[in-house]
Amino acid sequence: MNKVIMVVIDGLQYQVASTQMGYLNHLVELNKAAYYKVKSELPSMSRPLYEVLLTGTPSSVNGITSNDIQRLSTQKSLFHLTKENGMRNAASAFYWVSELYNRAPFHKVEDRQQADETKPIQYGTFYYDDFYPDSHLLLDAEVLRRKHDPHFLYIHTMGVDNTGHIYGSDSKQYRKAAINMDSQLAELIPAWIKEGYHIVITADHGMNTDGTHGGTGNDERDVPFFIISERVKPGYHEQVIPQLAMSPFICKLLGISPSEAMIEYDFSGIMV
């Protein structure tokens, strides 16, 4: 079955994911998941990196160069590609994702809940407050999954990023936010595995000790990449993966061709 759940944990630093996310690392230790480090694109800001993750194109190509650019993407995203290939897709995500692929600007009343198979994102639940609880967001996603059975489900949480901005990455609050996210995923992942999904868990960018991101430091650019799939060799991998590899890799998992703008990368452990 070619179905993928992609979880993007906004603002999750690689080092904190490695030391605080006990359940996900447990799966890696037991050879039930693979773990890589990803080097994010620049600028290490949210909206530009949503576009990178979903279209496999850098800011110099796609033009989404800052958080303040409010317009539809000009690139083919994973949503466009799945729709073109007769697949269903869904997203439970921050409203900037809706603005990139369905409509800009975002209308709170009209766009929070979406169900339109003619749009790139066919089914969606979108939030607009940074402090929207991750527990609610994950439940929104699970409702979409059970109701619409999407081939590609995109889940994007904000709690870790919001906590990092308030307290910085070297804080008990930030580490606790990562632990809480790990615990909430631990409630859902076993069912996803049982139902045969390929599961990808990553982040857009990291976080520095000042509670910011956008620059070139490792704290801001190094993010985790967990993969639960029989098509990837489990365990810890030393190879650092470019973030541009994400979209074409997910296309492989889905069994569809990448867009012409995507660049396919070969990295260790891939058996697709």
pLDDT digits (tens, 9 = 90+) for 103-158: 999 999 999 999 999 999 999 999 999 999 999 999 999 999 999 999 999 999 99
The single-letter code of the amino acid at 242 is: P
59 token code pair: 């800011």
62-101 per-position pLDDT tens digit:
999 999 999 999 999 999 999 999 999 999 999 999 999 9
pLDDT attached to residue 1: 63
* Tokens describing residue 230: 């029989």
pLDDT, one tens digit per residue, over 177-230 is: 999 999 999 999 999 999 999 999 999 999 999 999 999 999 999 999 999 999
CB atoms within 10 A of CB 83: 20
pLDDT tops 90 at residue 267: no
Residue of 170, 3, 27 whose CA lies nearest to 89: 3
Answer whether residue 271 shows pLDDT above 90: no
Adjacent-strand bridge partners of 87 = none
- Is the pTM for the entire model greater than 0.95? yes
> In terms of CATH, what superfamily is 4-254?
Alkaline Phosphatase, subunit A (3.40.720.10)
101 or 268: whose pLDDT is higher? 101
Q: 17 pLDDT exceeds 90?
A: yes
Distance CA 128, CA 39 (A): 27
Residue 272 has pLDDT above 70, yes or no: no
- Let me know: does 44 contact 208? Beta carbons within 8 Å: no
Secondary structure E strands in 180-221:
198-202
Identify the residue whose tokens are 């799945």. Answer: 82
